[in-house]
Amino acid sequence: MRIRKTAAAGAMVLALAATATACGGESGTAGDKPAGGDVFSKDYKVAATPKIDSPVLKKAQAAKKLVIGVKADQPFLGFKDPGTDKYSGFDIEIAKMVAADLGFSTKQIQFKTIDSNVRETTISNGDVDYYVGTYTINDERKKQVGFAGPYYTAGADLLVRKDDKSITGPDALKGKKVCSITGSTPLQEIKKPKYGAKTTELGKYSDCVKVLLDGGVDAVTTDDAILKGYAAQRPEKLRVVGKPFTKEPYGIGMKKDDKALRDAITKALEDHIKNGDYKKAYEGTLGKSGSKYVAPETPLPRY
Ligand code: GLU
């Protein structure tokens, strides 16, 4: 079965979503563990307005507002609390640290939820000033956008139902139904014939998780950091297999030709890694869902 943006597929997702909500709760109700919104969050020291020859930054400074693209359905990484509409998680902290060095307080940030399949177009169109959302740096994407980082390295893994012992790693996927996300690198990987998996392609990770809980697929694949967040939400129902099979270095995405912005963001990342903000934020967010802390290598690459 391969679902992709058809009316029938939409109806099916809605039906499955309704089932999952009824029996488990959208985000941590009915006895589930914390939704992922209850994590470390801080306001960082705001620098005096820097003079940087960046068209994107100049526009943001004139508007006194920075628009940052993020994820909303990744607990402990980029998560929007449905009750308060507040965003939280590791990527949100990274976004705020960098914003502070560019002269913007948390209050001046407008977070915009942007899913994986529209990241490059959203960035190139100028609909966001930069993007922080589990965004793997690779050469193909570098043709369209610029990257600062890597500020973290994840790896594609598998999320399965807790009682399913048949999936022991990527080699055990022959004939299995695996869900992943349009426009993501783990989807491209899992489509390779060597895995022999039947792929289901959806727009949001949370939709894949709902279909998994409902039995519509056997596994969800994406970065381990993301999957651990879902498993931490529902430890009675889900587990991460724990055999990563790709490398996913995370970068902050921005307009391709804005080198001044790229350099400023790279420097901001390095400074917050050095002054300890990065580690504190990591331990209070991603660290809570079981991803081990590894200090990122500095200096970060510049190009
Ligand atoms: N890091 C992978 C990617 O950038 C998967 C996670 C995501 O879709 O954001 O495609």
pLDDT at 303: 86
State the Rg of the chain over Cα: 19
Distance CA 150, CA 238 (A): 29
Residue with tokens 């890597």: 150
CA 48–ligand 1 middle distance (angstroms): 33
Query: Which pLDDT value is given to residue 30?
Result: 34
Q: Are 284 and 39 within 8 A, CB to CB?
A: yes
- Give backbone dihedrals phi and psi of 126, rounded to 5 degrees, phi first: 80, 20
Expressed in angstroms and rounded, the spacing between residue 51 Cα and the centre of ligand 1 is 32
**Closest ligand 1 atom number to CA of residue 184:** 10
178, pLDDT greater than 60? yes
Predicted model pTM:
0.89
Could you give the CA distance from residue 204 to residue 83 in angstroms, rounded to a whole number?
19
Checking if the pLDDT of 1 tops 60, the result is no
Task: Indicate which residue's Cα is closest to atom 8 of ligand 1.
Answer: 184
Report pLDDT for 35.
58
Q: What separation in angstroms does the CA of 113 have from each of 45, 69, 204?
A: 25, 6, 11
Angle at 158 between CA 246 and CA 4, to 5 degrees: 95
Q: Which atom of ligand 1 is nearest to the CA of 226?
A: 6
Q: Has residue 31 got a pLDDT over 60? A: no
Q: Which two tokens stand for residue 172?
A: 């055990």
For ligand 1, atom 10: residue with the closest CA: 184
84 token code pair: 């308060």
Ligand 1 atom at minimal distance to the Cα of residue 154: 1
The predicted model gives 160-181 an average pLDDT of 97
| CA 146 to centroid of ligand 1, rounded, Å | 16
Q: Which residue has the tokens 């022959």?
A: 174
Cα angle 20, 86, 262 (rounded to 5 degrees) comes to: 110
Q: Quick one: pLDDT at residue 37? A: 62
| Average confidence score pLDDT of the chain | 90
Q: How far apart are CA 255 and CA 56, in angstroms?
A: 8
Residue with CA at minimum distance from ligand 1 atom 9: 134
Has residue 32 got a pLDDT over 80? no
Q: Which residues are near ligand 1 (CB < 6 Å)? A: 116, 133-136, 181, 184-186, 222-223, 248
Q: Are strands 66-70 and 130-131 parallel, antiparallel or unpaired?
A: parallel
Ligand 1 midpoint to CA 134 (Å)? 5
Decide: residue 74, CB within 10 A, 0-12 exposed, 13-18 middle, 19+ buried: buried
User: What spacing in Å lies between the alpha carbon of 205 and ligand 1's midpoint?
Assistant: 10
Tens of pLDDT, residues 276-294: 999 999 999 999 999 999 9
Atom of ligand 1 nearest to the CA of 250: 1
Give residue 49 CA to ligand 1 midpoint distance, Å: 32
| Segment 111-137, tens digit of pLDDT | 999 999 999 999 999 999 999 999 999
Pocket test for ligand 1, best of 76, 136, 180 (most atoms within 8 A of CB): 136
Asked if residues 255 and 181 have their Cβ atoms less than 8 Å apart, the reply is no
- Quick one: tokens of 94? 């990274």
Q: Which atom of ligand 1 is nearest to the CA of 185?
A: 10
CA of 223 to the centre of ligand 1 (A): 7
How many whole angstroms from 63 Cα to the centroid of ligand 1?
30
Alpha-carbon gap, residue 131 to 147, rounded angstroms: 9
Domains of the chain: 55-154+249-289 (3.40.190.10)
Give which of 98, 73, 68, 13 is closest to 227, Cα–Cα.
Answer: 73
Residue 36: the pLDDT is 62
Mean pLDDT of 31-54: 81
Of all protein residues, whose CA lies closest to atom 5 belonging to ligand 1?
Answer: 184
